[in-house]
Structure 1
Amino acid sequence: MDVESSDAEGVPCAHGGVAGGHSLYVKGHRLYCAYDWIGATLQVVDADREISPGKHVLTAEFAANGRSTDPAMPCAVGTLTLYMDDQEVGGKDITTQPGSFCAVRDGFCVGRDGASPVTPDRQGPFSFTGGMIDRVVVDVSGERHVGHDAPARGWLMLD
């Protein structure tokens, strides 16, 4: 993502809505990731520093640690970690339903949260402004985050 100004804000990507879903968003110069469990429990992870203008790779990574013991939330527990480029900038233990889950059929949006918002922290569509989204990558392989440029650098070293 290219953050052209310090006023950049909005949703690079969101899946779901007010009745459950995930949203990666920028507000007040910081990166956030919110997960709403079926409209009943909102969990938000925020970065510990501001995003400076320039090109950045913003990442939210969930590492599952097992199953929830809470009968009201029968899903996975683990750590959601936020990265800016290759640096960890925030993290929190959360309970989530990983995989293809969207109770309200709001779908997956890039550059905005097109239907109902995942979090009441802002109003929809909360389009991303003040920069350019180069690409959104959703990786469900379960492999640890290594940065999107690291494999390419490795391939070039083979030549």
Structure 2
Amino acid sequence: MPLPRASAPAALGCLFLLSACTPTIGVEAAPGAADPDCAPVMLALPDVLAGDLGKVGTNAQATAAWGEPGAAVTFRCGVDQPGPSPDCQRVESGQGTVDWVAATGEDGTWRFTTYGREPAMEVTIPPTVLEDHSSSFVGDLTSAVTLVDATKECT
């Protein structure tokens, strides 16, 4: 005996219920989010960051997030390229080397922007995540970020 088929409205209703349970993080798209060089980077981003932060959906092009609303690490491709800075740091991992310009906000949020890569990419780490994790977030992103060749290095 054949199994009964679900009607299209019922199937869409189930899909809606499943998607309603999945958090979506609001992230503002970067000015250069439509840069075609962002696409391979976005596809190569890891599903897990810092050992236990799972990737979640975002609401904008060329963005990604790991964690939960209010306590998520966010990534944007196509941000404005930073100029030379004394805050430029070279981060080496088993996957390669990336230069990042680091800045911290008054609220304790850290922002790392790639230096010498076009399009530039940015990682934002809120203080609530830093309290619970000691892993190198930017190091976990190296294999994806290095898909955009470096043209300059920290000095």
TM over 0.5: no
TM-score when normalising by structure 1: 0.30
Structure with greater contact order relative to length (CA < 8 Å, sep ≥ 6): 1
TM-score when normalising by structure 2: 0.30
Considering only CA atoms, is the larger Rg found in Structure 1 or Structure 2? 2
